[in-house]
């Protein structure tokens, strides 16, 4: 088991609340969560896509390998990771990411996404 603290995030947010539905720390009646990062792998992605069935939500992560998007008619995305979640875990991820981005924008300013992104694109 790792020597990481219960909440590895230095800004004091409680990832476990959204990720597992439990409390972090020694709050009265709370569950103490230990994050074991001994087998943790790190990947980089600048592209993400998702698809869903009734039973699962699949999220694909990859890297845009195209250098000259304006002069080429194709874009190459090298997919590197696929994460499959049940719908409840996907909903928790949605809430977690929403909170993380809200904190980010409060600290660093609003992220402006040009154009619209439609599911499956």
Do residues 56 and 86 make contact, with C-beta atoms less than 8 angstroms apart? Answer: yes
| 53 and 101 fall within a common domain | yes
Kindly report, residue by residue over 4-30, the tens digit of the pLDDT: 444 344 444 444 444 444 445 555 678
Is residue 51 situated within a structural domain? yes
| pLDDT for residue 30 | 84
- Assign 94 a pLDDT band (cuts: 50, 70, 90): very high
Is residue 119 situated within a structural domain? no
pTM, entire model: 0.64
How far is it, in rounded angstroms, from Cα 21 to Cα 50?
23
| 49 and 34 fall within a common domain | no
- Assign 76 a pLDDT band (cuts: 50, 70, 90): confident
| 21 and 68 fall within a common domain | no
| pLDDT for residue 18 | 42
- At 4, is the secondary structure helix, strand, or coil? coil
User: DSSP letters of 79-118?
Assistant: EEEEEEE-HHHHHHHHHHHHHHHHHHHHHH------S---
| Structural domain harbouring 4 | 1-40
Average pLDDT over residues 80-108: 98
- Assign 55 a pLDDT band (cuts: 50, 70, 90): very high
| 47 and 100 fall within a common domain | yes
| 58 and 95 fall within a common domain | yes
């Amino acid at each position: 088991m790792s020597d990481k603290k219960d909440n590895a995030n230095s800004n004091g947010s409680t990832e476990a609340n959204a990720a597992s539905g439990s409390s972090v720390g020694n709050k009265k009646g709370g569950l103490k969560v230990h994050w074991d990062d001994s087998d943790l792998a790190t990947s980089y992605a600048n592209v993400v896509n998702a698809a869903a069935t009734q039973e699962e939500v699949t999220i694909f992560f990859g890297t845009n390998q195209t250098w000259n998007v304006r002069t080429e008619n194709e874009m190459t995305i090298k997919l590197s990771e696929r994460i499959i979640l049940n719908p409840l875990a996907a909903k928790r991820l949605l809430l977690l990411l929403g909170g993380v981005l809200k904190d980010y924008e409060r600290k660093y300013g609003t992220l402006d996404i040009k154009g619209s992104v439609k599911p499956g694109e």
